Amino acid sequence: MKLGTEQSGLLGRVRNLAARRTEGRGLILLALVIIVVAILEPTAFTAYSVTLGRVALIGLVALGLTAVILMGELDLSVASTLAVSGVIMASIPDLGLGIVVALAAGILIGIVNAVFVVYVGINSFIATLGMLFALRGLAFVISDEKPVRLSNIDAGIAFGAPLIGPVTPRVLIFIVAFIALQVFLTRVRAGREFYAVGGNRQAAFDAGIPVRRRIFTGFMISGFVAALAGVINTLERTAADPTAGSSVLLASFAAAIIGGVVLTGGRGSVVGTLIGALSLGILQVALTLSGVQTDIQDIFIGSILLIAVITDPTQLRAAAASVRSFFQRREKAQIPT
């Protein structure tokens, strides 16, 4: 006797794929953003180099964050990591050494976060919230509360220049980071096991997956990528600002969530995060080009974020049911008894 499912037809397979992927909503949202922007503010596309830069800025930190969120943990310290690593880099006269030390600092921060979460057993929201404050303070202390100018300004200017077409080194690094993480999370065993750790941690542990080591890796990736973003920012601006990245934290979380990464872990992808970053980046540039103030821009971003979450299929079903029951109750109330 054979037990099992029957292979469904093409339609069934398409439906399966749609149900399995998490990027659907993000993709629809991105399409909407593109259409609306193309009609109302097409310059956002003609000025694609600006747009690309913006996407890379938002997206890079979000990519690292995705690795942590997939395991059901949070890393609120990314923005402060970005600031502190930039300041460290600018404070070291030798550019190469500065970059290496800054990136190492990012990894170290990731390790500290992971130690708190894994060994001390602090909830990652709280542990990284603590790191958010501590590192921001550290950035101010190192920089003496002033922007630190890069000693090798020429290198910074050279770094900002486009390499091929509109592709600046920043965009290139973003693309490389995206590909590397995509490969890591889908093709490398350790990365793929992030999904297991986030999806059902006990089951992952029981299956012999080194859960703690995976969590360490995740936080290290997130810390490293945030530091990388700090390095890039410092190079492009030829100075490190200790207050840098204050808007990065929220934007990167927003990008991941819009892209369908679930905060409780186990569901999502860096492709989704890329889609989220694209939607946000295009929207921000378009709004800026049409002269909308940044405060108002935030309202738009907030709305997009809420739309993305509300249109989650399971949420939609629940909402539809409650709307229906509301009206049915109404109907009933009108029947005289």
Residues that bind another protein (CB under 8 A): 1-5, 7, 16, 19-20, 187-190, 192-193, 195-196, 199-200, 202-210, 266-267, 317-318, 320-322, 324-325, 328-329, 332, 337
Torsions phi, psi for 2 (to 5 deg)? -115, 135
Q: At its nearest, how many Å lie between another protein and the CB of residue 216?
A: 16
Provide the sign of the torsion angle of the four alpha carbons 15, 17, 21, 26, taken in this order.
negative
3-class secondary-structure state, position 31:
helix
Q: Which is nearer to another protein, 152 or 311 (CB)?
A: 311
**CA atoms of 59 and 213, how far apart (whole Å):** 26
- Residue number with CB closer to another protein (68 or 88): 68
Least separation, in Å, of the C-beta of 42 and another protein? 39
Cβ at position 263, least distance to another protein in Å:
14
Closest CB to another protein among residues 75, 193:
193
Residue 52 or 261: the one with the smaller Cβ distance to another protein is 261
Give least dist CB 24 to another protein, A. 14
Residue 181: closest CA among 107, 276, 294, 271 = 271
Closest CA to 48 of 230, 175, 171: 171
For the CB of residue 262, give the shortest distance to another protein in the complex, in Å: 9
Residues contacting residue 64 through CB under 8 Å, at least 6 positions apart: 75, 78, 177, 181, 221, 222, 223, 224, 225, 226
In the complex with another protein, the residue whose CB is nearer, 120 or 327, is 327
Do 64 and 221 touch, CB atoms closer than 8 A? Answer: yes
Minimum CB separation of residue 221 from another protein in Å reads 14
Q: How far apart are the first and last CA of the chain?
A: 58
The nearer residue to another protein, 23 or 41, going by C-beta atoms, is 23
